[in-house]
Structure 1
Amino acid sequence: MKKFSIAMLSMLLAGSMLLTGCGGNNAQTQTTDNGQDESNAAQTGADYKLAVDGTLTMATNAFFEPYEYYEGEEIVGIDAEVGKAIADKLGLSFAISDMEFDSIITAVSSGKADMGMAGMTVTPDREKNVNFSQTYATGVQSIIVPEGSDIASPDDLAGKKIGVQQGTTGDLYCTDDFGEDAMSRYSKGTDAIMALTQGKIDCVVIDNAPAQKYVEANEGLKILDTAYAEEDYAIAFAKDNTALKDAVDAALGELIADGTVQSIIDKYITAD
């Protein structure tokens, strides 16, 4: 199995949490004003390109609790709050554009969005198309199975029908390890879980934080003790917008150093 070393793995496991991946059908934009005056925003953004002047636009898929999800009509979560804090640092307003997970890199690369945040894992294939910030959180790909399943570890997935969210790292890793015939892809994690409860697939491989939420909401499911993979989360930027990447990375570094990022994570992911 693929394993990635991560600085914050112990925090994640202790917090029973969560990407990569996501998938939803709502293409919506949510905008918030940070209270900065327009001249400050325009001056701050003078050295880099923005999809909308004075506004930092984050592309996401808002079906990845606790990183991004809907609370009524508002998109909330770890990425939403970290993105807003970055915009505040840069003196910009903040907007979130909700789309299918596998459309995020295209939106960022084409300039329709300024950055992608969706519990997105840094992978070599993605690095061919976008640049990434420093790591701001870490993730674990977990395996959900029905209670009583004969799947006890990642080694038992051979020959099984594996459910994943399309375009996520769970999809990429499992396809690489077990082949196309083993895969059942869904646009949302909830759809994969429904298929699992209906006996259409044998397991679901998905990030640990949403996995915890799904197991809490669906009696008869459990998460295996052994993780499938471990990975780093970062922010994606267009290859030709290095000035924006540098500005966001500097703001993110300050937010990590002063404890803001950790406090946001702790707000949504608490130890048992």
Structure 2
Amino acid sequence: MKKWLSILLTSILLAGILAACGTSEKEEATNGAGEESEKKVLTMGTSADYPPFEYVETAKSDEIIGFDIDLAKAIAGKLGYEVEVKDIDFGGLIPAIESKQVDFVLSGMTPTEERKKTVDFSDIYYTAHHMIVTKKDSGIEKPEDLKGKTVGVQMASIQEGLAKEMVEKSKIEMKIENRNRIPEIVQELNAGRFDAAIIEDTVAKGYLKENKDLAGHVINEGSEEAGSAIAFAKGSKLTEDFNKELNAMKENGELEKLVVKWFGGEQ
């Protein structure tokens, strides 16, 4: 009897141990699968007033769409990330990186020497030109014609820097007014409070289609400076990772497909 009781107790104990091991392994597998299934998320900062780079078609939805959005999602997707887009005034984008509100910025931003002091940049992904936008009957066509005029620019943009250079280096005496958003600048133009504005040509063309009373003239001098790059926090590992995928997209034609989609192939 003692022998049978001993065998029975041993069997029960062994069964319990095996069951516990099985449960532990199952939980570990479940937890592991759960962690793998959870997508890593990156927060992207952008100023959604810059079609076709980033904007909202309010008649259709409140979703931010555009060239930069597609590019960010394409690169992040290859790296195993999802992208959460955060709309911020352009002048607040670099501070948002510095304060870690966002992981990166993709917003048609030019990597100037001043900006490089506080953030890192990817390689250039798109090159555009500067354009003077004004009323059709204004007689303003080139920088020299801006003398004595009030000129609108987006705050903290490369165009604001260009306008200041015109005053300081080219000695073109004009009044520079800045606004947070491009639509505000166009509104001031239409209201006659601005004589002209300096806007990136790719963006300006969209507003010219909607505002038939406005005309645009490309600024030849210095127009190649408006290259756009992705901005990251200083020392971020994402800079190298994004750059690798960006250059792969340049080589395999994926970037060109996005250019054709959003700009009609004109660069």
- Scaled by the length of structure 1, the TM-score of the pair is 0.77
In the alignment, which residue of structure 2 is the partner of 1:128?
Answer: 117
Greater helix proportion: 2
Q: Distance between the aligned counterparts of 1:62 and 1:38, measured in 2?
A: 33
Q: Distance between the aligned counterparts of 1:175 and 1:205, measured in 2?
A: 11
Q: Distance between the aligned counterparts of 2:189 and 2:255, measured in 1?
A: 34
Which of the pair has more CA radius of gyration?
Answer: 2
**2:178 aligned counterpart, secondary structure:** strand
RMSD: 2.1
Q: Distance between the aligned counterparts of 2:38 and 2:143, measured in 1?
A: 49
Is residue 2:238 matched to residue 1:262? no
Shifted more, 176-185 versus 215-224: the winner is 176-185
Q: How many residues align?
A: 225
- 2:62 partner amino acid: E
How far did residue 41 of structure 1 move? 7.0
Match of 2:158 among 169, 172, 178: 169
- Scaled by the length of structure 2, the TM-score of the pair is 0.79
Match of 2:56 among 53, 70, 76: 70
Match of 2:234 among 239, 251, 255: 239
Runs of 4+ in 1 over 4 A off after TM superposition: none
Q: Distance between the aligned counterparts of 2:162 and 2:55, measured in 1?
A: 24
**In the TM superposition, what whole-angstrom CA distance separates every residue of 1:202-251 from its partner, at most 9, and x where no partner exists?**
1010111221111111121100144462221100011131x211111111
Provide structure 1 residue ranges, at least 5 long, that are not aligned to the other structure.
1-36, 43-53
Task: Please give the residue correspondences for 1:169-188 in structure 2 after superposition, counting only pairs within 5 Å.
Answer: 169-178=158-167, 182-188=175-181
Q: Distance between the aligned counterparts of 2:191 and 2:203, measured in 1?
A: 19
Q: Distance between the aligned counterparts of 1:79 and 1:183, measured in 2?
A: 28
Provide structure 2 residue ranges, at least 5 long, that are not aligned to the other structure.
1-33
Is residue 2:79 matched to residue 1:90? yes
**1:94 aligned counterpart, secondary structure:** strand
Match of 2:210 among 196, 207, 217: 217
Question: How many percent of aligned residue pairs carry the same amino acid?
Answer: 31
In structure 2, relative to structure 1, the CA distance for the partners of 1:65 and 1:211 (3 Å cut) is same
Q: Distance between the aligned counterparts of 1:204 and 1:249, measured in 2?
A: 33
Q: Distance between the aligned counterparts of 2:174 and 2:227, measured in 1?
A: 28
In the alignment, which residue of structure 2 is the partner of 1:145?
Answer: 134
* Higher RCO, Cα 8 Å, sep 6+: 1
